[in-house]
Each structure stands twice: as C-alpha cells, then as structure tokens.
Structure 1
Amino acid sequence: MTQLRRVVVTGMGVVSALGQGVEEFWSGLVAGKGGIRALDDESLAAFSTRIAAQITAYHPTLLERSETRDWDRSLLFAVDAAHQAVSDAGLVVDEDNAARTGVYIGSGIGGIETLNRTCETLVTSGRKRTSPYFIPMMIPNMAAGLVAMEFGAQGPCLGLVSACATGNHAIGEACLAIAAGRADRMIAGGSEAPLTPLAMAGFCSMKAMSTRNDVPQEACAPFDQRRDGFVMGEGAGILVLEELEQALARGATIYAEVCGYGSSCDAYHLTAPHPDGRGALSAMRQALTMAGWQPEQVDYINAHGTGTPIGDRVETRAIKQLMGKEHPQVAVSSTKSATGHLLGAAGGIEVVAVIQSLNHNLIPPTLNLHQPDPECDLDYVPLVARPQPVTRALSNGFGFGGHNAVLALAAWNQGKEN
C-alpha cells in the first residue's frame, strides 16, 4: 500500500452557545463559562428537562440572503461555521482545485426543526401538502451539499450519520480521503439544531437528560456523583483539512496535524455502551496505532463525557485500560460541561477545543465536578483550566448504536517524524 499522506488543519469555524467564532468559543471555555440556560420557549415548558445550551441572538450575515429563509437552523450553523473555517484557512476553491476539494459534514438528527414545524403545520392547517423545501431541508446530507455548493467543492461529498460520534467520524473519514489521495483538501465536521419539542420529548422519555432545571449552569456534571444525564446543545464545528505539502506550498497557517483515527462498534445495545468499554478502547487504540504513538505520549484526552451515570463510568474504564497501570495519569476533561451535548456536532467543536489546547498549552476544565464519583477516578481537570504542555491529544466521540470514533491530534511538527 502506498504510504499515507499527512493531513493538517488549516482552518476552523465554530457556532456555539459559548460564542460565535473560535476565539469567543475558546475564551469562554477556558474562563469556565457555561452556555447552559433555562429555555423560555413555551413549546418546551411541559417537558421534564427545560434547560439547554441554546444559541441566542444569532444573526449571521447569511440571514441577509433571501434563500436562507427556508433553511433549517442546522444548515445555517453548518454553512456559517464552514465560511469561518474557509476564511480562516485563506482557501480559495477554483477551477483548478475544485475536483480535489471535498466536504464531509454530518448531523446526528438532521433537519428536525423543519420536521417538527412541518408536522405541526400539516396537522393544524388541514392542508395535505408541505413546502417544497421540506424534504431538502430535513435530510441529514444537506449540510454537506449546501457547503459544497457554497464554495464550488466538487470532490468527495458525504453527510455522515453516527449519532453523537458523527463529528469525529466526518473529520476522520475526511482525513482518510486526503491520506489516500482521493482529495487534497476537505471541509469537515458536524452541525446540529435539535432543540425542538420532538427531540426533547424523545430524550426525556428515555430519561437520558438532566432534570436539574433549577440550576442550569450546574446541570451538566460529567464524572460527578450527582450527575443525572446530559444537557442538549446546538451549533456547529467545522475544519479545513489539507494535505501537508500543499498546505506548506501555499503558505497556509497550520494549527495541528491529524495523526490518527480510530473507528469501532460495540455491537452491544441500542443506547448503552458495552460495560467493559471495549468499543471505546478499540477506537482509542486504533487512533494511537495509526499515529505511531504509545499511550504515555498522550498529554490530554477530550472525553466524550456526557454526564450520564453509565457512560462516564464506562469511558473512565476504557481510558484506564488504554493507559495501563504503569503509565502516568493523563489529563482528561469534558467540555460538554460548558457547551452542552451537541450530538452530531459535538466532535466538531471538541476537536477545535483540542487544537486550541495544543496551541495554547492550556487544558479546558470539566465544570461542576465537585463530588467525584468513586468509580470515576482519573485526573479530570476540575473547575479551572490548567496551564500544561500539550503536544499530543485524543478526542473521543461515542454514539447511540455503539458507534465510536477517536481522533489523535498533535501540535504542528510534534506528531510524526519528518
């Protein structure tokens, strides 16, 4: 097999409850700010969970374009974050490189806002027709399609769906496309806008979400013994990925190298992880193998860390198995404690957090970790960001259906031998 080409990150874009744009997102994250708040939407008031990391006062320049009036909120987020990332990368897609520029952007649920609104209209209006935009705005692949149209990217284009592992899978598969020579640059990540009655009803029925409505900022408490479920969020995280030599040739700023990617399935349960964490462990080991790293070389792990009682314990077991008793304890944190759980977009914004950590030698904290669960006994960087050298890191993403995706990232020129 031909040696795989190296892949680097040259652009980043974020839409989140902590802020719009990478700098606002990162500054809020390391300052310990929380994006979770009480929901004031009357349509959501009847549910057992009435809190979320909702983006308020959202007015991107995209809204000035008439065609975006019909777009699902998840599509606005995706195109907005992609514009940020492409601008940040200084990337110009033209006739010469369009066929070698691709888009892999996923969503765990897709256009559920459009689905929810259309169902309500269909039932209450008595009309037996919908907007002609209903299907295009609902299907999960449309974020990738719209971003490709926005920039004229004619290379590989996919809308990946693997629940809460979607963002990591999209970025990992995009890296493989570049590494294998199928594309030279990819726009990749995830987008999600799930704060609707349908999604709230479904997750509340599963008893998957926190019901600590009286303390929104404290409700998402990964690894804390008081945790009672995750808190939904919305937004998007998008990267521009490029083949190393081409990025260097055009003088692009390189933020990090994606050195490894692991993907596995628990093949165990609809929603629960395997008790031994075998799928998560397999994905982490794959990522390390592809990167050529030993476990003790990892400085930081951005945990999936949703704040569910079972999930946090299982991820802890998997990380402990990965590191082994003979290795120093690795720093771990869950940024979902601040951002909420963005489902299919979680991996996108969390990879941005990891890249910023690599560039600033600063590990974002796990908020609300006041009473650690005895079964969760790793170094979770509680409450306050920690200055610490970070050259190699993992970003974990796990989803319903047993999907696992892990990315291994390194500070530029620290990941592999030149």
Structure 2
Amino acid sequence: MHPRAAAIVGLGLRSPGGTTPDGEAMEVRGPAAAWEALRAGVPAITRYPARRWERMQERLHPDDRGSAPWPLAPITLPTTTDAAAFGLRASDVDLLSPSQILILEIAAEALADAGIPPSTLAGPRTGIYLATSSPDEALTTFADGTRPRLADLPAGGAGMLGTHLSRWLNTLGPLPTLDTTCSSSAYALHTARRDLTDATVDVAVVIGINTCDSPVVGRAFGDGTALAEDGDLAPYDERAHGYVRGEGAVAVVLRPYRQARRAHERIYAVLEHTAVGSDGRSAGVGLPSWQAQADLIGRALIAAQVHPDAVDLWVGHGTATAAGDNAERKAFAAVCGQGRDRGRGRLWPVWSAKGLWGHAEGASGLQSVAATALMLHH
C-alpha cells in the first residue's frame, strides 16, 4: 500500500433514476440504492421533467422554444429541507438554492455512512472541497427581469456554495470551490487527498454537484454537435454521437488510509495516488490531447508504483463524443501497449458511468469514483 494513500470511508449520492409516468424526476439516493442501480445497468436518461420544461420554455426566446423536452438525466431539485437538522431557521431555508440544500443533505448522508458524528468535525482539521462547473443556478437567479436580493448572492456564486455546510459543522479548515469544467470534482478529490497526505487535515469531505435548470445554458449546449438529441448516450461505442446532460450530487468522505485501518473503519476503496494535468496546445479548444492523457496516466501509475498489467478496469471520462472517446482510447492503448498484455492476448475493459447517469459535467469525476468504489467494495 502506498504510504500516502487515502481511504474512501463514506458516500452520499443523488443520482438520476428516470421519470415517473407523470413526467416527474425520480432519483437514486444513497450508496445502497446506487449499487443496485449499477447492478441493474438500466440507463436513467430520459427527458426534462414536464413541469420544469414548461417553466424553462417561458424563459427562452420564442424562436428557441422546442415542442419536445430536451434529453436529460434528472434528479429532484429540492426546495426545502429539515432546517433544525442543520442549525437553520425556516426563513434561512427559504433562501437556499437547490444546490445548497443538496450539499447539506448528501454531506450528512456521507458522514452518517462513514459513522462520523458531525459534532466531531469542528475546528481546523476538517476540509470541505466543493466542485461545480454549472452556471445554471446563477443564470437563473440573476437573469434579466428578476429582482435578486443581497441574500441571494451566496446561492448565485459558486464560491459560497459550501458556506452553510461549514457553518453547520463549524469547520475551520480548507473550503475551496473548484471549477475546471468537466474535471472539477476529480480535481477536488486530488486536492483533498493531497491535503490529507500532507497532514493539513484529518478528514476531507469532497462534494461534486451539477444541476441543469437554465434553458439558456441548455440552448447553448444544443447549438452544435456535442449533445445526442435522441438521448442515446453510448460511451466508447461505435454508435456514439454525443452526450446527454446529467444532474447529480456526490459526497465522498476521505481519511488517511493508515488511520482508517487502525480505527477499523469500513473502507470502500483506497486512493493509492492521484495526478493532474492539462491538454496544453491541443488541436483546438475543447479537443483533448491523447498524448497529454497518456502522459498523465503514466505518471500516476509510476507514482503509485502500479504496472499497467496490474490494472483490471479503466474507468474513463467517456462522454460519447467522437473527439473525447477517441482520445481516451488512444491514451489507454498507449499506456497498455496497444491494449494487449505484451502479445498474450489480454484485453482491458473500459467503462464510463455516463451510459447510466448522463454527463454530470463538473460532478462527473466524483460520480465515477463513487461508482467505482461501490464496485470494488461489493
């Protein structure tokens, strides 16, 4: 085991679960339900819930209004929560955005799953690491014609999304909100693991969140070839022709592996190492570089002292876009020696959570980590 490894000891999730016959969103709640959804393997990609679609249409230019709801992998966006449970007044809850409510609820769920009493996390030894890349809530809150108040500012800016969680737990440690677009929550996980192994914190709560409630953002994504308009999202498949936006909220609780092992905590999975990089001068903005990806994967394996032959499963980004999937395939092949184990005929499986739950954008990295942790645990 790598001496600086981190253990995943708690999970909280809200993942898409399809829609009801009445067109309302359903969702998968908690790690047990998420595991059952993974085992079933039934995609939760559907269309925008009927009532949300009607509200969104009203905010679009008449020329942009569609006759049919756009594809989406939705969750339920909450408007209220148990105020007393989080030390809030009812009037405080009225000012919270759906993302702020989800952050509180999934963090509480993950801590309960880890068996960590919230009252023990006060002080500077707990870090909260948030990730989002969705501008939907901010654009909705501050859209032309609305009348936002000063109290709406924390809900409209990503930098204050974790404020209520930090206040509830009374944490004094790191509280960043990271936005590196689709890699946001994976980068948050890397940052948290680094702080754990550097002994900056003893417990890290990592949260990724994505909501898709702005018609303007949906319109922008649809103005091109990135989205699969028919809702058929097929990562790494020859029929892949674009992705579907997905909503989701994921919380992961990390502890130093050695401490978790000594305390006999339930461990879902272990992070041996993490590494980060960027594309540099790729073929274009939004076009990934397979060479940069292969270099990054190789560096991570070397640092973790893991040979490619020891890898049983690659979990990729897998957006089902031609450019993205092809780049990843080339990167994995380069690392694995063209996908074969030194001529012995071995093939490596490659998987993406997006075929089930859509592309949760800024939350997608952590969603994949949580899904993989559940696979390893079970």
Determine if the TM-score, normalized by the shorter chain, exceeds 0.5: yes
Q: Please name the residue that 2:304 is paired with.
A: 291
In structure 2, stretches of 5+ residues that fail to align are 18-27, 58-64
* Structure-2 change in CA distance of 1:200 and 1:146 (3 Å): same
User: What is the aligned partner in structure 2 of residue 359 from structure 1?
Assistant: 377
- Aligned residue in 1 for 2:216: 198
Match of 2:29 in 1: 20
* Equivalent position SS for 2:127: strand
2-side partners of 1:230 and 1:348: how far apart? 18
| Residue 158 of structure 2 is aligned to residue 140 of structure 1 | yes
Residues 107, 191 of structure 1: 8 Å contact kept: yes
Distance 1:189 1:57, change over 3 A: closer
Q: Report the 3-state secondary structure (helix = DSSP H, G, I; strand = E; otherwise coil) of the residue aligned with 1:313.
A: helix
Compared CA separation, residues 98 and 319, structure 1 to 2 (3 A): same
CA–CA distance in structure 2, aligned partners of residues 317 and 109 of structure 1? 29
1:103 counterpart letter in structure 2: I
1:197-234 Cα distance to aligned partner (Å, 9 max, x none): 1220121124321111xxx4xx1111223322110011
Match of 1:74 in 2: 99
Aligned to 1:116: 140
Return the letter of the residue paired with 1:68.
Answer: V
2-structure distance, mates of 1:109, 1:331: 30
Offset of residue 119 of structure 1: 0.9
* Superposed displacement of residue 61, structure 1: 4.2
The answer to whether the 8 Å contact 1:222/1:307 transfers is yes
Equivalents in 2 of 1:36, 1:198: separation in Å? 21
Identical-pair percentage: 25
1:315 to 2:334 alignment: no
1:5 counterpart residue number? 4
Partner residue, 1:374: none
Tell me, in whole angstroms, the C-alpha distance in 2 between the residues paired with 1:221 and 1:96: 41
Distance in 2 between residues matched to 1:355 and 1:22, nearest whole Å: 10
Q: Deviations over 1:323-355 (max 9, x none)?
A: 114523212112101101001111121111100
2:95 aligned partner, one-letter code: D
TM-score, normalisation: structure 2: 0.84
Partner of 1:51: 71
Q: Distance in 1 between matches of 2:145 and 2:319?
A: 34
Q: 2:248 aligns with which of 206, 220, 235?
A: 235
1:125-170 per-residue CA deviation (whole Å, 9 max, x = no partner) reads: xxxx522233211211223333222222211221111101011111
Shift of 1:69: 2.5
Match of 1:99, SS state, is coil
In structure 1, the gaps of 5 or more residues are: 123-128, 361-418
Secondary structure of the corresponding residue to residue 206 of structure 2: strand
Give the Cα separation in 2 of the matches to 1:57 and 1:236: 10
Residues 293-323 of structure 1, C-alpha deviation per residue, up to 9 Å, x if partnerless? 0011111111111111211111111111111
Distance of 2:317 and 2:159 partners within structure 1: 24
Secondary structure in 1 matching 2:109: helix
Question: In 1, distance between residues paired with 2:96 and 2:79?
Answer: 14
Taking the aligned partners of 1:58 and 1:16, their CA distance within structure 2 comes to: 13
Structure-2 change in CA distance of 1:95 and 1:226 (3 Å): closer
Counterparts of 2:103 and 2:299 in 1: how far apart (Å)? 29
Distance 1:209 1:91 in 2: 40
1:183–1:197 CA distance, 2 compared to 1 (3 A):
same
Name the counterpart of 2:62. none
1:273 counterpart residue number: 288
Contact 1:211–1:228 (Cα < 8 Å) also in 2: no
1:22 offset after TM fit, Å?
1.2
Number of matched residues? Answer: 344
1:385-412 CA-to-partner distances (Å, cap 9, x unmatched) read xxxxxxxxxxxxxxxxxxxxxxxxxxxx
Sort the Cα spacing of 1:225 and 1:23 in 2 relative to 1 into closer, same or farther, 3 A: same
Amino acid at match of 1:151: L
Counterpart of 2:354 in structure 1 is 336
Residues 211 and 248 of structure 2 are in contact (CA less than 8 Å); yes or no, is this contact kept in structure 1? yes
Q: TM-score, normalised by structure 1?
A: 0.76
Q: 1:144 to 1:108 in 2, by over 3 A?
A: same
Label 1:132 to 1:332 Cα distance change in 2 as closer, same or farther (>3 A).
Answer: same
Structure 2 counterpart of 1:136, one-letter code: P
Partner in structure 2 of residue 401 of structure 1: none
